Amino acid sequence: MIGYSRDSFYRFQELYEKGGKLALQDLSKRKPNPKNRIEAKKEEAVKKMAIDFPAYGQAKSIQ
């Protein structure tokens, strides 16, 4: 039998009773990692360079 554990079921039930369907949609425990982001200005510059000079490839575009 495939399903949820009893603990998960009651947790889902409580979420549904408190917030309805919308409460069940956002169950991700993963937090955003801002360390992976760069400034928008730098990101746009890298994109422009990659488009303008495709022969450089990915490795050279990010240096």
Report the distance separating Cα 48 and Cα 63, nearest Å.
14
Q: How high is the pLDDT of residue 7?
A: 92
CA–CA gap between residue 43 and residue 22 (Å, rounded): 33
Residue 28: per-residue pLDDT: 65
Q: What is the model's pTM?
A: 0.39
pLDDT of residue 63: 60
- Is residue 54 within 8 A of residue 46, CB to CB? The reply is no
pLDDT tens digits, 6-22:
998 898 899 899 988 88
Ranges of the chain with pLDDT below 70: 1-2, 26-28, 58-63
- The tokens describing 59, both together, are 């490795």
Residue 56, pLDDT score: 83
